[in-house]
Structure 1
C-alpha cells in the first residue's frame, strides 16, 4: 500500500472513532431484531402483502424466504432512468426463479440537472439529494425486507439513495445501473456549437439540432459528469457488480447483469453476509476518493462523499482529498477532461483496466468486502456473455487506446488535479484536470455578480474587455440551495478563447461537465453567512494560481477590516417550489461539511453520532 493512502485512511479512522462506533452499534441493534417482516404484527404483515400475487404471498409467509425491497428513481424524463421502467418486473422474475420475492418499496424523485441548468429548478437540485435520502429511508422503514436494490444513476440520486440506505446498513444494499446511451454527436463538438450560439454565430435551430444529436437515446449522458462519476465510485466502494457501470441499456449483457444483481441480493440475504455497513467503511470511502482523483471526476463529489461518509459515521474532509490528490495520478481522460466519452472509455479497457492499475500501484485497499464477495481484485474483471450466460473475464493487460486510458507507468498527470484553496476568501476547491496549464494563472480585477443572469447581461453588453476574475456570490447552500452555474461556461469560454485571462470564483457549484476555465468553487463560509466573499468589492485585484491552489486578494489589511459585509440584494425567489425548501436552506451545513441538512442530526459536538 502507498504510505499516503495508509496515512489518510488512518487519519480518517481516528477522526471517526466515536461516530463510527456509534453508527456500527446502531446497525448491530437493528440487525439483532427479528429479520425483516417477522418483526411485524399479523395486521402489519397483511397490509404489506395485500397487493402481491398469490404465489408471492405464499412465499412471503414462509419464515426462511427472502424479500428484496426496490427503491427506484424511475421516471421517463431522465434518459438515464427511463430504462428502469421495466426493471422491477425483470427483477421480480429473477427473484422468483431463485425462490425469493421482490417489492418496489418506494420511489424517490429524480430531477435532471441537464434540464434545469440556468433555470429556477436548479435551486432545488442539491437539496433533492437530501430529499431522496429521506425518501429512501421512508421506503425501507416498513421493515418488510431482507435486502434492498437501489435503482438510480444520476447526479444527486445515487448519493441520496446511498445516504438513506446507510441508515439501514444492517441490510445488504446493492446498486443497479442501467448504462449509458450509445455515443452521439461528440461532446466537444456540442460544446463548440453552444459557444457559437452564445456569441450569436449559431441559430437556435442549429443549437437544438446539436443538442438532440448528443442526447439522443435512453441511457446516461455520455460525458464524464457527476452521473458517470457516481458509477465508477460505486464500483470502487464495492456496491455495484464488477464492470456493470457502462454497459448500454436494452442489451442482452445489461439484462443479464440486472438478473445477476437480483440473484446476488437474495444470496447475500440468505447467507447474512454483505451488509452495507460492513462494506462501506473508511477503506471503501478512500477507494472511492482515489477513483474520483484518478479519473478527474466531478467536483460535486467533493460534497457528496463528505455527506455520504457522515451517514456512515465517517468524517471525511477536504484535506483528505488534497493529501491524496498529491499522489494519485490521472489515468483516464474522458470529456470534459479529454475528447472521449464513457463508451470509448469502456472500449479502451474501462473500469477493469483502471482498477488493475491502481491496485498494482498500491493506491487502493484490496482487502475490502464487496457485494460480489471479499477483495477488490474482483473489480479487475469485466462481464461478458459466454454461450448466453453471464461470466466474468480478466480485463485487458494494456490500454486499447492510450489517448483515453493510461497505465500507471505513463499517467496523463502525476497528481489528481484537485486542490484545496485556503486563504483570505475562505476554503474552496479547484479542479485543474480539464484546464490547460497555460490558463492556470490569472491575476486581474474582479467583477461581482449575485446571479448568473446579471453576468450574462454584462457579457451581452460587451462589458468584459480585459482580463477578469468573475465572482458570483450568494450561491451557497444557505443562500439559494447552491445551484450549478453551468450557464456561465460558454460565456467564460468565449472570453478565454479571445485571449483574455479569465477565472471564476464562487460559493456555488459548477457542473460536473465543466472545466475549461479555472474555477474556485464551493467557497466557505459562503457570502450569505457573512463569509469573506461578502467583503469583496468590484475592482479588487485577485491572483489565482490554479496549479498550487492559491487565491490571493490584493487589498490592504486595514481597508479590508474597515469594510462591512454586503448583503444579497434580492431575497430568495419564490415559485417553482423553492419556497417549500426554506427549512433545508436554513439547516444546510457548509460546503466542506457536505452542504447537508442532516449534519447536525448525525453529529454531536464531540464528534459522536446521535
Structure 2
C-alpha cells in the first residue's frame, strides 16, 4: 500500500473506533433477530403477502428457509437515468422465481432531476431530498420481512440517500443495481460552445434548446461526468455493483442480464445462500478510502465532499475533508471526461472504464484489495468486464492497457500526479475547491470582491456589462441552512466567458457547484455559512480576496479589527417560500455544516459514540 493511503486509513479507523463499534453492534443484533415475518401475528403476515399476485410467492414466504428480497426503487419518468427502472422490478422478480426466491417491491423513494430544477425554486429541495430518500428507504424496509435488498438508483442525491438508509439496515445483504448511461449525443465541446455563445447573446434560445435536446436525448444517465456518474464509479469501486456494470447502456441484452444477475447474486449473500455478507461488512473504513481514491482518480463531483462523509457516518465512520485532501495529494488523475475533458462516460467505458481504473490503481498500491464485495472477498474481482457468450453472462479480465490514453491512462502515466481536491482555509473559513480542470495560470486569483446574494444577481450584472474586470464573485446565503444549498451551475457559463476574455475571476460561495464545475477557480461549501454569521457574511464590495488553489489559502485581506467591527449581513427576507420549500424549513434548521456532510442526521448519528 502507498504509505499515505495506509496512514489515512489507520487514522480513520482510530477516529471511528467508538462509533463504528456501536454501529456494528446494532447491525449484529438486527441480524441475530432475523426477518420478523416468521414471528408475525397471522393478520400482520397476511397483510405482508396479500399483494403477491403469483400464488407460489405467498407459499414461499410462509417458509422461513426461502429468500425474500426487498426492492427499493427511485423510478420515475422525470429522470432520464431512472426511466429504465420502470421495467426492472418485474425482471428481478422473474429472475428470483426461477431460483425459488421471492422479490417484493418494498417501496419507492422520491427522485428529483437537478437538470430540470437547475436555477429554479425546486433546486432548493435537492440536497434535502437526500435525507428524505434515506428516511423513505427506512420506511420501506421497516416491514422487516426481508432477507436481502436491491437498490435501484443512480443520480445525484439519490444514491447517497439510498446508502444512508440502507446502512441503517446494514445487516441485510445488499446489491445496488445501476441502469446505465444514455448513448452519446452531440459532443460535449459543441454543447459547451453553444452555452457560452448563448450567454454572450450570440445564438438564440431556439438554437440553445436544439443543442441541449441533442445532448439529453433519451433514456439513461446524462453522459457528462457529474455527480450521477461519480456515484456509479463510487458504488462499483466499493464493491456494491456487479463488476463492470456501471456504464452498460440501458435497453440492451447485456444490461438486462446484469440486472437479473444482481437479483441472483444477492440471494447468495444471505444466510440461506451460505455466503452471508451483509452491507455493514462491505462498507468499512477501507471501502470508504477506496471510494475517495476513485473520486480523485477520475476528477469526480465535488458533491461527494458532502455525500461520502454523510453516508460514511451512517456506517459509524468519521471521514473528514482533510482525509480526502490528503489522499488527493497522492492519487493521480487518470481520466479526462467532460467537464475535465471532451470525452463522455461512454468513451470512458469503452477505453476500459472502471475495471481498468481499478486494475491500475491496485497495481500502484492506491486501493485496498483486501475488502469484501458483493461477489466475494478481494477487489481484484473488479478488474473484470461483463459480456454475453451465447446469450449467457460471463466475465473476462480487462486489458492491461487503456484503449485510449487521451481519455483514460495508467497510474504510471497520469494526466496529473494528484487528484486536484483542495481544502482552502483562512480568515473566511474553510471550503473545498477542485482544480483538476482549472489551468495552472488561473489557480490563484487575488482581486476585489463583488458580492451577490444569488446566481440571478450575478447573471443580471453580466448581462448589464458590469463584470468586465478582474474580480472574486462572492455568492452567499446559498448554504444548507440558508436555502438548502442548491447547485449554482448557471454561474459557470458567465464566469467562463469572462475568463476567456482575459479577466482573472474566481468564485467564493457557501453554496455548491458539483461535478459540472469546471475551468473557473471556485471555493465552494464555505463554512461557517453566511446564515450562521460566518465571515463570508461580512464581505463588502471592493474587499480584496485571495483564493489560492495551490497553497490552499482563502483570505479576506481586511484588518481583523475592521472585521470585528463589521456587522454580518442578514439573509434577505422571503427566502424558502413557494414550490413547497416551506415544508423543508425544519430540515434546513437541522443541517450540519458542509464539512460534516450538510446532513440533518449528523447529530443523531454522532450520538452513537
Q: What TM-score do you get using the length of structure 1 for normalisation?
A: 0.98
1:40 maps to what in 2? 40
**Structure 2 matches for 1:187-586, cutoff 5 A?**
187-269=188-270, 270=272, 271=274, 273-586=276-589
CA distance in 1, matches of 2:258, 2:551: 43
CA contact (8 A) 2:9 2:285 kept: yes
Post-superposition offset of 1:557: 2.0
Instruction: Provide Cα deviations, 1:165-205, integer angstroms capped at 9, x if missing partner.
Output: 00000001110001000000112211111111111111111
Q: Give secondary structure in 1 for the equivalent of 2:537.
A: helix
Q: Is the 8 A contact 1:36 1:146 kept in 2?
A: no
Q: Report the Cα distance in structure 2 between the residues aligned to 1:430 and 1:212, rounded to whole angstroms.
A: 30
* CA distance in 1 between partners of 2:189 and 2:423 (Å): 28
Please state how far the C-alpha of 1:422 moved relative to its aligned partner: 1.2
Whether 1:132 aligns to 2:133 is yes
Report the equivalent of 1:114.
Answer: 115
Q: Aligned equivalents of 2:305 and 2:337: distance in 1?
A: 19
Q: Deviations for 1:87-136, whole angstroms, at most 9, x for unmatched residues?
A: 00000000000100001100000000011110000000000000000000
User: Match for residue 155 of structure 2?
Assistant: 154
Counterpart Cα distance in 2 of 1:167 and 1:465: 51
- Deviation track 1:8-56 (CA, whole Å, cap 9, x = no partner) reads 0111111111100110010011011133522322211110000102111
Q: What are the Cα deviations for residues 358-411 of structure 1, in whole angstroms up to 9, with x where unaligned?
A: 000111000000001110000111111111111110001101111101111110
The answer to whether the 8 A contact 2:19-2:316 is kept is yes
- What is the alpha-carbon distance in structure 2 between the residues aligned to residue 509 and residue 24 of structure 1? 33
Please give the alpha-carbon distance, in whole angstroms, between the structure 2 residues aligned to 1:72 and 1:433: 34
- Partners of 1:477 and 1:142 in 2: how far apart? 32
Which residue of 2 is the match for residue 51 of structure 1?
51
| Local SS of the residue matching 1:512 | helix
DSSP-derived class of the 1:168 partner: coil
Query: Counterpart of 2:269 in 1: which secondary structure?
Result: helix
SS in 1 for 2:222: coil
Over residues 325-349 of structure 1, what are the superposed CA-to-partner deviations in whole Å (9 max), with x where a residue is unaligned?
A: 1100001111001110000001111
Contact 1:421/1:429, CA 8 A, preserved across alignment: yes
* Secondary structure, counterpart of 2:423 in structure 1: strand
Distance 2:578 2:141 in 1: 31
Instruction: Indicate the SS of the match to 2:516.
Output: coil
Which stretch of the first structure deviates more once superposed, 84-93 or 458-467? 458-467
Q: Deviations over 1:513-548 (max 9, x none)?
A: 121211000000001001110111111001122122
Give the match's secondary structure for 1:570: coil
**Residue matched to 1:3:** 3
Aligned length: 606
Q: What SS is found at the alignment partner of 1:396?
A: coil
CA distance in 1, matches of 2:323, 2:208: 41
Kept in 1: contact 2:447–2:546 (CA 8 A): yes
Offset of residue 465 of structure 1: 2.1
Q: Is 2:181 aligned against 1:180?
A: yes
Give the secondary-structure state (helix, strand or coil) at the position aligned to 2:600. coil
Residues 502 and 518 in structure 1, CA contact (< 8 A), matched pair in contact too: yes
Cα gap change, 1:355/1:422 in structure 2, threshold over 3 Å: closer, same or farther?
same
CA contact (8 A) 2:57 2:102 kept: yes
Note if contact 2:425-2:553 (Cα within 8 Å) is conserved in structure 1.
yes
CA distance in 2, matches of 1:324, 1:251: 37
Q: Report the Cα distance in structure 1 between the residues aligned to 2:504 and 2:22, rounded to whole angstroms.
A: 50
What is the distance in 1 between the residues matched to 2:5 and 2:41?
48
Secondary structure, aligned partner of 2:155: coil
1:528 touches 1:567 (CA, 8 Å); kept in 2?
Answer: yes
Q: Return the TM-score normalized by structure 2.
A: 0.98
CA–CA distance in 1 between the matches of 2:596 and 2:572?
Answer: 27
**SS at structure 2 position matched to 1:47:** helix
Please say if residues 445 and 542 of structure 1, whose CA atoms lie closer than 8 Å, have aligned partners that are also in contact: yes
- The 8 Å contact of residues 576 and 585 in structure 2, kept in 1 or not, is answered as no
In structure 1, distance between residues paired with 2:566 and 2:560: 10
Partners of 1:243 and 1:383 within 8 A in 2: yes
Verify the 8 A CA contact 2:38 2:62 in the aligned structure 1: no
| Structural RMSD (CA) | 0.9
Asked if 2 retains the 8 angstrom alpha-carbon contact of 1:352 and 1:396, the reply is no
**Separation of aligned partners in 2, 1:239 and 1:15:** 25
- Aligned-pair distance for 1:272? 5.1
Deviation at 1:442, TM superposition (A): 1.2
What is the deviation of 1:58?
Answer: 1.1
- Secondary structure of the corresponding residue to residue 32 of structure 1: helix
Q: Distance in 1 between matches of 2:372 and 2:276?
A: 10
How far off is 1:268 after superposition?
1.2
Conserved 8 A contact 1:73-1:151? yes
Contact kept, 8 Å, 1:19 with 1:314, in 2: the verdict is yes
In structure 2, C-alpha distance between the alignment counterparts of 1:429 and 1:201, rounded to whole Å? 34
Query: Unpaired runs of 5+ in structure 1?
Result: none
SS in 1 for 2:103: strand
